[in-house]
Structure 1
Amino acid sequence: MSDPSATGHAATAHDLLALVGGERNVTSVTNCISRLRIGVADRALVHEQEIRDHPKVLGVVEDDTFQIVLGPAAVAKVAEEFARAVESERGAGAAGGAAEGAAPAGGAGGAGGDAEALAAKGEAIRAANKRRNATPFKLMLRRIANIFVPLIPALIACGILAGVTGVFANLGWLGPVLPALDAIAKGFMSLIMVFVGMNAAKEFGGTPVLGGAVAAIIPFAGVADVQAFGVELEPGQGGVLGALGAAVLCAYVERWTRRWVPDTLDILVTPTVAVLVSGLVTVYGLMFVAGEVSAAIGVAANWLLGYAGAPAGLILGGLFLPLVMLGLHQALIPIHTTLIGVDGFTVLLPVLAMAGAGQVGAALALYLRLKHNEGIRTTIRSALPAGLLGVGEPLIYGVTLPLGRPFLTACAGGAVGGGFLGLANQLGVSAGSTAIGPSGWALFPLVQGSQGIGAAVAVYGLGLVVGYVAGFLLTYFFGLSRDAAAELNAAESMAPDDSSEDAPAAAPGPEGDPAQARTA
C-alpha cells in the first residue's frame, strides 16, 4: 500500500513548484529544519500571496533564497518531492523541445515582448533584493549558515547518542555495548573540524577536499610535536574556529595560485601550494590564535552567566525569537560548537531554548482565549507538538507573529525563563547542552552541567516550566486587547488577506512588511 502522506507531500510540492514559477524559475532546492529554501531566477514569477495562502504553508521568508516555512514534520519530504518534480519537468521539457525541433520559441507580436519585459522586471526586483540583502553582516551570517547548517543533523544524532550513552553508563546498563555506542557518538565530534573545513572551502570558492585536508591538521595527534609561540601545540587546539580560518585561507591561496599556474601543471602545483602554505600558517599561527580565542569565548560565556546570570539570561531569552525570525541565530552556531569543545557543553543553548518555552505558553493562552476561532485553534494544535520539541517557526509564523502583541508576550515569557536559568547558573548550578540543534523537550538527552546530569536536568526542566507559565500568563492577560479578542472570537476564521486590517498591530515580518496571518 502507498503512504497517503507521501501523496500529500507530492501534491504540496507540485503546488509550490507551480507557484514559484515552474521548474525553469528554480535554481536551487535545499531545506533546513522547517524551511524549504528555493533559489529563484525571476522573483516576479513567484506568486507569494498564493503561497502564503496555501493550507500547508506556515509562512514565507525572503533572503538570498525564497524560504517557505512548512514545519519539521513535512519540510524534508516536501523538499524531496519538490526536487523530484523539478527534475521530472526539466526532463519532460527537454524531450518536448527536441520534438518541436525548429519551432519558434515565442509567439508573434507582443507575446515575446511581454515575456522579455516581465523577465527584465523580475531581474530588476531580484537585483534590488540582492543589493538590500548584500550587507557585509548579512553575507557573513549567510556564509556561516551555509557552513554549519548542513552539519546539524549529525550534531543532533551524535549528541543524543552521547547523552543516552552517558545515562546507560551511570545506570550500569549495556556494559559490553557501551564502548561501541561511545565510539559512534564521539567519532563525528572528533573530526568535526574536517567537515567544517570542507564546507568552508566550498563556501569561499575553494576545493572542499583541500579545505578538509588543511582542517585535518588540527585534530591530528602529530601536532603535539610542534612548538609555536614557545609552547607545544595540543591536538584539537583551535577547534572549529581554527578549522574555519584554515579552510578559508586555503581557498584564497588556491584561487590565487590558479591564476598564474599553467593549465598543464595546475593539478600538481595548485593543491600542493594551497595545502602547504595554509597548513604552515595553521600550524604556526592559526591553531595558537584560534585556541586563545576559543578559550576567551568559554571564559566570557561562563563569566556572563556566572556573574550577570539573571540579567544576561533575561536578555538572551527575550531576544532569541526575533533572531530566529530573522535567521540571525545561525551566527551563534560557531559559539556553541566552540563552547562544547572547551567545556564539553554549551551553557548558552538551554538559556536560548527558553524562548521556545515562552512561545508554547503564549500559544496555549491564545488557544484558551480564542475559543470560537477554530482556524487559529487548529493552527495551534498542529504547530504545538513541534514547539514542545523546540522548533518554534510554525508557532512564530502561524500564530504569534501575525497577531502582533502575542509575539511580544511570548518573547517576554522566554525572557523570564532565560532569567531563571541565568540565575541558577549564577548560583552555581549550570545547565548546558552537549550538542546543538534541538531544544524544548528534545534537549533533555543532551543536558549536562557543572553539578552533574541530575541537577542540570532539574534546572532545565524547571526553566521550561517557568517559561511556559510566564508566556501563558503574560499572553493571557496582556497578549490581546479586549476588543481584539472579541473580534477574533466573533470571526469563524481569519483569512490571511485580512490579517493586516483585522489583526491587532501586526508585527513586521523579516522583510519589514506586516506579517500575514496563517490560521488554517
Structure 2
Amino acid sequence: MATEDKNRATAAAILPLVGGAANVSSISHCMTRLRLGLHDRSLVQDEALKAVPAVMGVVEDDTYQIVLGPGTVARVTPEFEKLVEEGRAEAPAPAAPLTAEELAAQGAEMKAARKARNATPFKLFLRRIANIFVPLIPALIGCGIIAGLNGLLVNLGWLPSVTPALAAMASGFMALIAVFVGFNTAKEFGGTPILGGAVAAIIVFPGVANIEAFGQKLSPGQGGVLGALGAAVLAVYVEKWCRRWVPEALDVLVTPTLTVLISGLVTIFGLMYVAGEISTAIGTFADWLLSNGGAGAGLVLGGFFLPLVMLGLHQALIPIHTTLIEQQGYTVLLPILAMAGAGQVGAAIAVFFRLPRNESIRRTIKSALPAGFLGVGEPLIYGVSLPLGRPFVTACVGGAFGGAFVGFFNQLGDAVGSTAIGPSGWALFPLLDGNHGLGATVAIYAGGLLVGYLAGFVATYFFGFSKDLLAEFNVSQDPTATPATAPDPDPAPAPASATAKEPAAL
C-alpha cells in the first residue's frame, strides 16, 4: 500500500506542474519516460518538475517527456491517468466557449509548436519505427532472461525436466515476433492492426516450406521482422485503396479479403525472399565488421552512440538488433553501444570531483548515478554533461574506449551479445550471451564497463573543463554557504555573477 501511495503522490505532484488535467491531451510511457501530449506547452513549470524527487529530468520532443526511470514509470503512469480522468470529471464547464475562429487559430498554433522541432521526414519515419518495436521490448527482456537462465541450467545439468519448458517460454515469442511486428506496423501506419498481423503471420507459417519462389523453397520465418514490416505496410496501402473504391455494402467482405490476398501473394512471391536476403546481409556484415575491425568498429560505435541518441537516430538500429537476435540468438552491437553509458557515468563522477562548490550539480549527480549504473542515462545527459558542454564530448571518449575494448575481443573471436534490447549498464548482465561460455562473456562486458568508466573519468577530469568553464560553474548555489567550504582543484577567480545552469560552449 505504501508503494501505491508513493506512486500516486508522484503523479499528483506532476499533474499541476504540467497545467492540470485539462492541459493533457494524451498519456503514454516507454521504458523510462512518461510521455504527455499537451494542449498548451507554456503552462508547464519545467524547473518545478525537475525538483520533484522522483523526476530525473525532462525532454521535449513530439511529446513532453518526464524521465522517471524503469519500473517507476510503469507504476506512476496508471496513477497519473486516474488523476487526469478524475480532474476532467470534476472540471467546471468553461464560462464562455471559444469561437470557431479562435479554436482554429489555437489548434494551428499548437500543431505548429509541436511539429517545429524534430519534424523532418527522416526523424518522423524513425519515430514510427520506434513506435512499432518499443512495445515489444518488455517481452524481449523477459524471454531473454528466461533464455539465459535456461542456458545456465542446461550447462550445469540441473533440472532437466524443467529446461524444456523454459526453452518453450523463451522461444515462443521469438517464433511469432513477426506477427506482433505486423500488428504494430499496421496500427502505426493507420491500417487495421489485425490485418497487418494476419499478413505477417504468413512469414512464420510452416506451410510456406512447400512454396517455391525465385527458384528455391521458402523457409518459415524467412525475411523475419523486416519482411513482416514490409508486408504490413503493403497491407495498409492495399486496405486504404480498397476503402476508397469498394462500395460500403461490400466493404466488410471485400476489403479484408483483398488486403490479405494481394499483400499475401506479394509477401510470398517477393518480400520474403528480398527481406531474407537483406536480413542475411545484415548478419553477415555485423559479423564481418567485428571480426575484421572489431576494435575500430567498437571505438566508432561506442563513441558516437550518445550523439545518435541526442538526435533520435539510434531508433534506426532497433530493427537491426531485432534481426540479429532472430538470426543468431543475440545482438553483438548492443553491448558495444552500452559502453556509451559507461563513459557517461565516468564523466559524471569526474564532474562531481571537479565542481566541489556546485551543490546543485553534485546533488543531481548523486541522485542520478544509481540509474546511470543501471543504464538509464537521461538524467546524467540532460542534467549534467550536456548543459556543461565539454563533459558530453569526454563522455563520448569514454564510450569509445569501452566500445573498442569489447570490439577487440569480438575481433579475437569472443562474441559478446545481448539476447534482448532495452537494458544497458549493469542491467544488461542477465541478458548476456556469446560463443565462448557465460563466464567469458560476462568478464569481457564487465571489463568494457570498467574501461568506459575509467576513460570517461580521466578524459573529463583532465580535459573536460577549461579555466573559464570552472570559473563559471564551480560556484556555490546555496546563498547561505561559505564560498570556501571546499578546495578548488583549479583555483581561478570566479565572477560574482556566475551561474550553474547556463550551457557552456565547447
TM-score, normalising length: structure 1: 0.88
Tell me if 1:387 matches 2:378.
no
Aligned position for 2:486: none
Distance in 1 separating the partners of 2:388 and 2:117? 27
User: Are residues 285 and 507 of structure 1, via their aligned partners in 2, closer, same or farther at CA, if it must alter by over 3 Å?
Assistant: farther
Aligned 1:55-66 pairs, distance under 5 A:
55-66=53-64
Cross-structure match for 1:105: 95
**Structure 1 position 482, deviation (Å):** 4.7
8 Å Cα contact 1:325/1:393 also seen in 2: no
What residue number does 1:320 align with? 305
Find 1:502's aligned residue among 494, 499, 504. Answer: 499
Q: Which of 26, 40, 50 does residue 24 from structure 2 map onto? A: 26
Aligned partners of 1:414 and 1:471 also within 8 Å? yes
Offset at residue 404 of structure 1 (A)? 2.0
Check whether the contact 1:405–1:504 (CA below 8 A) recurs between aligned residues: no
TM-score, with structure 2 as normaliser? 0.90
1:205 aligns to what? 190
Identify which of 423, 427, 432 aligns with 2:417: 432
> In the alignment, does 2:351 pair up with 1:366?
yes
Q: Deviations over 1:455-482 (max 9, x none)?
A: 3222212111111111111122222335
Match of 2:139 among 154, 172, 182: 154
1:190/1:63 CA distance change after superposition, 3 Å: same
Partner of 2:284 in structure 1?
Answer: 299
- The one-letter amino acid paired with 2:503 is A
Q: Structure 1 CA distance, aligned partners of 2:153 and 2:352?
A: 39
Aligned CA-pair RMSD: 2.6
- Measured in 1, the distance between the counterparts of 2:300 and 2:200 equals 35
Q: Deviations over 1:110-156 (max 9, x none)?
A: xx79x987994674253144154332101111101110111111111
| 390-399 or 27-36, which deviates more | 390-399
2:204 match: secondary structure: coil
Counterpart check, 1:145 vs 2:130: yes
For the residues of structure 2 that align with 1:71 and 1:118, how far apart are their CA atoms?
A: 36
Give runs of aligned pairs for residues 74-85 of structure 1, distance below 5 A.
Answer: 74-85=72-83
Deviation at 1:186, TM superposition (A): 1.2
Match of 2:442 in 1: 457
CA shift, 1:34, in A, is 1.5
Identity of aligned residues (%): 65
Show CA shifts across 1:17-76 (max 9, x none).
223232232221111122111112333443445434545433322222111222225322
Other-structure match for 1:468: 453
Instruction: Give the AA of the match of 1:59.
Output: G
User: How far apart are the structure 2 equivalents of 1:47 and 1:369?
Assistant: 30
Distance 2:57 2:504 in 1: 14
Deviation at 1:501, TM superposition (A): 6.2
Structure 2 residue runs without a partner (length 5+): 480-496
What are the equivalent positions in structure 2 for 1:92-491 lying under 5 Å apart?
Answer: 92-93=90-91, 96-97=92-93, 105-106=95-96, 120=105, 123-482=108-467, 484-485=469-470, 488-491=473-476
Q: Shift of the alpha carbon at 1:372?
A: 4.2
Q: Tell me the distance in 1 between the aligned counterparts of 2:39 and 2:104.
A: 9
Deviations 1:374-397 (A, max 9, x none): 433332222222211212112212
| CA distance in 2: counterparts of 1:507 and 1:84, whole angstroms | 41
Q: Is the 8 A contact 1:401 1:407 kept in 2?
A: yes
Return the alpha-carbon distance in structure 2 between the equivalents of residues 469 and 454 of structure 1: 22
Tell me, yes or no, if the aligned pair for 2:475 and 2:500 is still in contact at 8 Å: no
Letter of the 2:442 counterpart: V
Name the residue aligned to 2:66: 68
Does the residue aligned with 2:36 lie in a helix, a strand or coil? strand
Contact kept in structure 1, 2:39 and 2:110, CA below 8 Å? no
Instruction: Report the equivalent of 1:101.
Output: none
Distance 1:395 1:376 in 2: 10
Deviation string, structure 1 residues 342-381 (Cα, Å, up to 9, x no partner): 2222111011000011111112222333344443333222
Deviations 1:311-341 (A, max 9, x none): 2111110111122233332221100011112
Alignment: residue pair count: 489
**Paired letter, 1:85:** L
The amino acid that maps onto 2:76 is V
| Residues 421, 460 of structure 1: 8 Å contact kept | yes
Residues 407/315 of structure 1: CA separation in 2 closer, same or farther (3 Å cut)? same
Give the aligned residue type for 2:452. G
Name the SS for the 1:218 alignment partner. helix
Q: Is the 8 A contact 1:159 1:434 kept in 2?
A: yes
Shift of 1:256: 0.9
Once the two structures are TM-superposed, the CA of residue 248 in structure 1 deviates from its matched residue by 0.8
